[in-house]
Amino acid sequence: QVQLVESGGGLVQPGGSLRLSCAASGTIFSIYDMGWYRQAPGKQRELVATIRSTGSTNYADSVKGRFTISRDNAKNTVYLQMNSLKPEDTAVYYCNAKVVHEYWGQGTQVTVSS
C-alpha cells in the first residue's frame, strides 16, 4: 500500500512563489513515476508536471518556465517549485505515484489572489 501526503499549499499574491511537497510511504519510492495534478472548481483535473523514476521530466504548457518538479529519493519526497504564480494557478494540487497501479494524495489548496 502507498500513502501520499501533500503539503505546502496556501494563499499567495500574483507573482509569488510556493513549494509543494509530497511525502510517500509504504513503497519503494525510487522505482515510481511521480506527478503533480491540479483541479480548479468546475474544471477537469489536469496534469501539471511529471518526473519519472529515471529523472526525466515533463510539464504542461501552461506552467513551463515557471514550475519545476524534482524528487529526493533518499527522503521519499517529490517537490513542485512554483514561481511567478498567476490567479489561474488556483486549484487543489494532487500528488500521484505510478508503477502499475496509481495512487493519489489528498490534495493541498493553492490560492493565488490579490
pLDDT exceeds 90 at position 16: yes
pLDDT exceeds 90 at position 27: no
Distance CA 74, CA 79 (A): 13
Average pLDDT value over all residues in the chain: 96
Q: How confident is the model at residue 28 (pLDDT cuts 50, 70, 90)?
A: confident
Quick one: CA dihedral 113, 39, 7, 65, positive or negative?
A: negative
**Cβ(107)–Cβ(20) below 8 Å:** no
Q: Give me 41's grid cell.
A: 472548481
Residue of 46, 45, 68 lying closest to 57 (CA atoms): 68
Distance CA 14, CA 97 (A): 29
> Beta-carbon neighbour count of residue 66 at 10 Å?
15
Strand partners, 105: none
Q: How confident is the model at residue 26 (pLDDT cuts 50, 70, 90)?
A: confident
31: DSSP letter:
G
Q: What is the pLDDT of residues 48-103, one digit of tens each?
A: 999 999 999 999 999 999 999 999 999 999 999 999 999 999 999 999 999 989 99
pLDDT of 1: 76
Residue of 26, 35, 14, 11 lying closest to 94 (CA atoms): 35
